[in-house]
Amino acid sequence: MFPNDRRYTKEHEWVKVAGGVATVGITDFAQKELGDIVYVELLEIGRAVALGEVLGTIESVKAVSEIYAPISGTVTEFNVLLSDNPETINLDAHGAGWICKLTLAKPGELDELMDAATYLKLANH
């Protein structure tokens, strides 16, 4: 249900790192809780964020929720597909529905995040 190749936060974000670049999204659990996603608003490219800072917001038919940085880094890219098709997160939260990419500032922070098995226990409570 939750891919083993990434780390998870208690706020239901995921991060997958390859070559010093972290791809960030929200979990399938989070998108189900939100319901139909209608809008995603993110910080500008080039913005540095610290672990736990707000990256942006996701608006669904139920609520507006903040997206938190699972690690410290600098925003380098946004998923442009979400501008016109925010529902992509509902359809493929762990794949095509990724939200943004960050360059890693503090790789050691990854060790503080949950693996898939630990996150599964949190999501099932």
Residue 125 is predicted with a pLDDT of: 76
Strand (E) positions, 1-125? 7-8, 13-18, 21-26, 37-42, 48-49, 54-60, 64-68, 73-78, 100-104
Residue 30 is predicted with a pLDDT of: 96
Residue 43 is predicted with a pLDDT of: 82
When pLDDT is cut at 50, 70 and 90, the band that residue 42 belongs to is confident
Decide if pLDDT at 1 tops 80: no
pLDDT digits (tens, 9 = 90+) for 97-110: 999 999 999 999 99
Residue with tokens 């707000």: 54
pLDDT digits (tens, 9 = 90+) for 45-72: 999 999 999 999 999 999 999 999 999 9
Closest residue by Cα to residue 101 from 2, 37, 21, 41: 21
Domains belonging to the chain, first-starting first, are: 7-123 (2.40.50.100)
Residue 40 is predicted with a pLDDT of: 96
What percentage of the chain exceeds 70 in pLDDT?
100
Measured CA to CA, the distance from residue 114 to residue 95 in angstroms comes to 19
Measured CA to CA, the distance from residue 107 to residue 19 in angstroms comes to 11
Measured CA to CA, the distance from residue 75 to residue 100 in angstroms comes to 7
Region at 46 (left for phi over 0; alpha for psi -120 to 50; beta for the rest): left
When pLDDT is cut at 50, 70 and 90, the band that residue 84 belongs to is very high
Q: Rounded mean pLDDT of 28-46?
A: 94
